[in-house]
Amino acid sequence: MGLESALGEGYITTKLDALIGWARKNSLWPMPMGLSCCAIELMSAGDPRHDISRYGMEVMRFSPRQSDVMIVAGTVTYKMAHVVRKIYDQMAEPRWVIAMGACASSGGMFRSYSVVQGIDQFLPVDVFTAGCPPRPENLFNALIELQKKVGTSSVLDYRDRKEPIILS
C-alpha cells in the first residue's frame, strides 16, 4: 500500500505485466498440430533457411502439457475435430491458437461434407493466417503478431481476449 501510493497507481502490477509478457512472448513453445499440407510448410519453417528458433519457438513439443501455442496446420475434418479439441483442453493455461492456412481458418477449398468450415467453430482462435498453404514467412508474420498480443496482454486477465488478428 505504502509502496503503491509512493510509486503511483498500479506501478508494480504494470511493471510485472510487462516483465512477464516479455518473458512469455519470447519463449512461446508451439504444439504443432500438423494435419495435412500446412504441416510440411510448418516443418519448412524449422529448416535451416527459415530457422524458427530466431523467435524462441523451435521447441516443437508434441506433448500438449509442455506447449503454449497450438498451431493448427491443415484441414480439420469432423472426425479429427474431437481430437484437436481434446488436445487443446489438455494444454496448460495460458494458451493461444494460430489457425494456419485457409483450411483451418475457413474450410478453404474444401466445401465438402467431411470438413469443418473453420476451427473457430470449436476453438478460440487468436490469429488467422491466409494462404494455401502459407509460406513460412507468412507463418512468422502470424507468430510476430501473436508475440505482440502476448506481450501486451495482462497477466491476470489474459483470458479477456481481444478480437482475433486476421492476416490477409
Partner 1 sequence: MSETKPTAGDFFDLPVNTSHLPPKEKRSKLLQALLDMDPNLSFDDPLENDMVLNMGPSHPATHGVLRILLRLDGETIINAMPELGYLHRGYEKIAENETYHEFITHTDRLDYLQPLHNNVAYILAVEKLLGIEAPPRAQYIRTMLSELARVSSHLVAFGVMAMDVGAMTLLLWCFREREKIHDIFDIVVGARFTTSFTRIGGIAQDIQDDGIAAIKAFLDQFPERQNEGERLLNRNRIFFDRCRHTGVISGEEALAIGLTGPNLRASGVALDLRRDAPYLVYDQLDFDVITETEGDSLARYYVRLREMEESVKIIRQCLEKLPQGSVHAHEPKKVLPRKERIYTRMEELIHDFMIVNFGVNPPVGEVYHAVESAKGQLGFSIVSRGEGHPWRLKIRSPSFCNLQALPRLLKGHLLSDILAILGSLDPVMGEADK
Q: Which stretch binds partner 1 (CB under 8 A): 4-12, 17-25, 80-88, 119-127?
A: 80-88
Map the footprint of partner 1 across residues 112-141, applying CB under 8 A: 112-115, 132-133, 135
Q: How far is the CB of 69 from partner 1 (least distance, A)?
A: 16
Residue 20 engages partner 1 in binding (rule: CB under 8 A)? no
Q: How far is the CB of 146 from partner 1 (least distance, A)?
A: 21
Q: Name which of 46 and 56 has its Cβ closer to partner 1.
A: 46
Residue 155 engages partner 1 in binding (rule: CB under 8 A)? no
Q: What is the DSSP string of 48-73?
A: TTT-GGGGT-----SSGGG-SEEEEE
Q: Which stretch binds partner 1 (CB under 8 A): 27-35, 122-130, 138-146, 151-159?
A: 27-35
Contact 31, 57 (CB under 8 A): no
Peptide bond into 133 cis (omega under 30): yes
Distance CA 60, CA 30 (A): 5
- Site size toward partner 1, by CB under 8 A: 32
Distance CA 47, CA 64 (A): 22
Q: What is the DSSP string of 107-153?
A: -TT--STTB-S-GGGTS--SEEE-SSSPPHHHHHHHHHHHHHHHHHS
Binding interface with partner 1 (CB under 8 A): 33-37, 39-41, 43-44, 46-49, 62, 74-75, 77, 79-80, 83-84, 87, 109-110, 112-115, 132-133, 135
